[in-house]
């Protein structure tokens, strides 16, 4: 019966109907996606685990990336507590693990970031030693995120070899070792299906732009941290 009805409609009209449907589809595709409105009474929590790159050595506290993340999301209308930061300049994986054990942390956080390993590399430790320690820290991060792996974010290790601090060191060797560490932590991140954010290439831009570093010629400036924060905030917003 349906075939008979279609035959009764002139072919030119069928073409016009098809054109109309196509036009509607194109217009719909061009419409900007509407952001999900913030929950009116929900206040989110964020735990940041790491070392100097997380605490923000040589920058004001509001310029480190965890605080910039929450600032971005607050500006978008989301309610966030101040980030809980467990990080200190110079910490290695085992030192961070000890600090987490000693810290008074709640059982669960809405979001967790982990950035650790540069001091393992700096002290000449083997990647093979780093892998199980990093994996243990990632397991803790997943636990803190109430076992929601989509709310855990791993950041790659920055390449400090491009900084003035490394002027008298083997920059190529540092870069190669950083790559081995990042290959390892990215593989572990993939195993647990958490987010992995590569900020290493961004930090290499400091070789041509000194404004991306602090006065010590080693650590990232607030300007560099802002780039990391935007990536994290964008991913978090998709989960809210």
Domain with residue 145: its CATH number is: 3.40.50.1110
Q: What is the pTM (predicted TM-score) of this model?
A: 0.84
Ramachandran category for residue 117: left, alpha or beta (phi over 0 → left; psi -120 to 50 → alpha): left
Q: Count how many domains the chain has.
A: 1
Q: Is residue 35 part of a domain?
A: no
- Convert the pLDDT of each residue in 200-233 to its tens digit: 999 999 999 999 999 999 999 999 999 999 999 9
Name the residue range of residue 95's domain: 43-239
Q: Cα(124)–Cα(139) distance, rounded to whole angstroms?
A: 24
* Predicted local confidence at residue 3, as pLDDT: 47
Six-digit token pair at 121? 């590399």
The whole-number average pLDDT for the span 93-122 is 97
Q: Is residue 14 part of a domain?
A: no
Q: Is residue 34 part of a domain?
A: no
At 9, the pLDDT band (50, 70, 90 cuts) reads very low
Q: Is residue 218 part of a domain?
A: yes
* Residue 163 per-residue DSSP state: S
Q: Where are the alpha helices (DSSP H) in 1-152?
A: 2-8, 11-30, 52-55, 65-75, 93-102, 118-122, 127-144
Q: Cα(116)–Cα(146) distance, rounded to whole angstroms?
A: 21
Q: Is residue 125 part of a domain?
A: yes
β-bridge pairing 152-155 and 111-114: parallel
């Amino acid at each position: 019966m349906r075939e008979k009805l279609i035959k009764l409609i002139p072919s030119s009209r069928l073409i016009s109907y098809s054109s109309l449907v196509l036009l509607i589809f194109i217009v719909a595709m061009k419409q900007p996606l509407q952001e999900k409105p913030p929950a009116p009474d929900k206040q989110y929590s964020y735990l940041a685990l790491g070392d100097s790159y997380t605490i923000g050595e040589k920058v004001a506290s509001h310029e480190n990336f965890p605080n910039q993340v929450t600032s971005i999301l607050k500006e978008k209308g989301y309610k966030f507590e101040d980030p809980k930061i467990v990080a200190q300049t110079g910490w290695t994986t085992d030192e961070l693990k000890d600090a987490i054990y000693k810290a008074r942390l709640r059982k669960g956080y809405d979001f967790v970031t982990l950035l650790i390993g540069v001091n393992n590399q700096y002290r000449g430790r083997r990647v093979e030693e780093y892998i199980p320690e990093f994996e243990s820290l990632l397991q803790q991060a997943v636990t803190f995120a109430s076992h929601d792996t989509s709310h855990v974010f791993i950041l790659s290790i920055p390449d400090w070899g491009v900084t003035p601090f490394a002027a008298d060191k083997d920059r190529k060797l540092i870069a190669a070792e950083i790559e081995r560490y990042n290959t390892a932590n990215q593989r572990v991140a993939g195993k647990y299906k958490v987010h992995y954010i590569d900020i290493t290439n961004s930090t290499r831009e400091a070789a041509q732009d000194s404004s991306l570093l602090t006065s010590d010629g080693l650590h990232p400036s607030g300007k560099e941290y802002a780039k990391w924060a935007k990536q994290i905030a964008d991913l978090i917003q998709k989960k809210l």
